[in-house]
Structure 1
């Protein structure tokens, strides 16, 4: 994953790193505590075990602190999820249609393409539709993944910040051509995008995975 591909990618990466770091801290702490108790209270060191009657302060500490840490993970995850569902005003809208086994993209001026071509530094909202079975709209480099379900409206948005060509995959198994359901996401300078956007083209050939 390229952290510079979109601003959302960086935001999601921060949450991921935070959760992994806390999980690693818990793993190390619990493992160290288990090893300590195994050694400290082994039969050789304690031939006559003693009853433990509890410690309210200690029990409260190991209940409250982990609870607060887990709530912090929930908070950061929730706020980033809200960010992913709030589309900026003025975002370009593209209708994305998935079918066995290809993608098509329809732009506001009616232009249809088998590649998702977009201008750099411009928020884009992709309205997702399926003509047959469940597909998955997945752009790994952008950290974007949404289900595309027949009869159900869904969307994804992102703001590409790096020029280049990226893969758009289907993340839900959809039949024999599933591995070939790939399209290009081409991020272009704004002037080159406008030139392409306003140019009439002949109908393009079949997309990846489309059967003739």
Structure 2
């Protein structure tokens, strides 16, 4: 099986190699002409032939063959990228401002993409808000994430390791922070991770997994660092100024405020931050309660 990395690299090296050969040939010819027809050697202009059938035929046929060969290699690479191997694992990729989430066939949801080494992974890609682009340089794949539309790409991790994935389509103020990780693990390690719904019992209980899964940590830090939105560290009990119905209000963050801010963030806008948070009014009461409980304890 030819991997996506091999397919793209072969095309790149072929075109790059031809380009280097042509560069050297053209440069050498240019230098030869400069020396051969320098004024010191040819003080008077000489008559030149008006045509040369063999030369004109050569510089027509040879470039045509080169371009056709590039097209052939490119087409082979393209078909490799679009033809998903049989038995590939399907993972749903969802982009949102400004994070990625991955849903596995068994229902597990993660904010990083964990894959088994040596197995083809098919990514079913979509977006929940604006146009994004899922880009994994290590595997030479890049595909748009379009709202209301599903695109796909596939790859194989041939050895264990961690690889970066980016959003390659400008999507707003935190576009540069829309980064996630692909973790390639041996089959046994992946199976152990895959069978567990959450990383730990603590994450299941305190709501941190929901924060990561639903993209909250893409805009809100958990360690006090500045991001697009206010940090969640020590948020409970903090005094903030908000704009409600065009009027400024000062309030203390409590459980009810946190629930309102999650479900309808545009109703009360925190001053000093852009009004870009989407409404999470589709969360269940249990999920919302877990998130608020975790934020209350995050001191």
TM-score under structure 1 normalisation? 0.91
Pick the structure with greater CA Rg. 2
Cα shift at 1:116: 0.5
Range that drifts further, 37-46 or 22-31: 37-46
Is residue 8–residue 77 contact of structure 2 (8 Å, CA) maintained in 1?
Answer: yes
Match of 2:9 in 1: 13
Paired residues for 1:1-212 under 5 Å: 7-46=3-42, 47-201=44-198, 202=204, 204=209, 205-206=211-212, 207=215, 209-211=218-220
Is residue 178–residue 209 contact of structure 1 (8 Å, CA) maintained in 2?
Answer: no
Instruction: Specify the SS of the correspondent of 1:95.
Output: strand
Distance 2:164 2:45 in 1: 65
Match of 1:3 in 2: none
Structure 2: segments with no counterpart, 5+ residues: 199-203, 221-228, 230-299
Is residue 167–residue 184 contact of structure 1 (8 Å, CA) maintained in 2?
Answer: yes
Distance 2:23 2:45 in 1: 31
Structure 1: segments with no counterpart, 5+ residues: 1-5
Structure number with the bigger relative contact order (C-alpha 8 A, sep ≥ 6) is 1
User: In the TM superposition, what whole-angstrom CA distance separates every residue of 1:5-24 from its partner, at most 9, and x where no partner exists?
Assistant: x8321231121111111001
Distance 2:115 2:36 in 1: 63
Is residue 92–residue 125 contact of structure 1 (8 Å, CA) maintained in 2?
Answer: yes
**Residue-pair matches, total:** 207
CA RMSD of aligned residues (A): 1.6
Cα shift at 1:186: 0.8
TM-score under structure 2 normalisation? 0.66
Is residue 102–residue 110 contact of structure 2 (8 Å, CA) maintained in 1?
Answer: yes
